[in-house]
Amino acid sequence: MPALVCGTEKLSPDGGVLACLDRYGVLHFFDVVSGRAIFEKKRFAAPFEIFGHLTPIDSESASMEFSPGGEFIIVRSEDPEGSLLVWNVHGKN
């Protein structure tokens, strides 16, 4: 797995996929066995701007839930204008 700090993360029920929203708002999905990235969405959540400087997002910036069988993941940005993503884990789309 790459060295990455996640503000929010969730492991699939079967342990095969790790979802990570990094501290700069990029959403990543990794194959745990190979460590390879299988999905990336830049600007999924926006870092906060305080006095003209970007502040990394925290663990409250998104919610992530896998379906009970682990087929899908729903990721929702907590930003009022944020994104919503539903991803087919097995279909990779």
pLDDT of residue 51: 60
Q: What is the pLDDT of residues 24-72, one digit of tens each?
A: 888 999 999 999 999 999 888 776 565 665 555 655 678 899 998 899 9
Q: Which CATH number fits domain 6-88: 1.10.3470, 2.20.28, 3.30.60, 2.40.10?
A: 2.40.10
What are the E-state strand segments in 1-93? 6-11, 17-22, 27-31, 37-41, 48-50, 53-55, 62-66, 72-77, 84-88
The pLDDT of residue 22? 86
Q: What is the pLDDT of residue 6?
A: 83
State the pLDDT at residue 56: 54
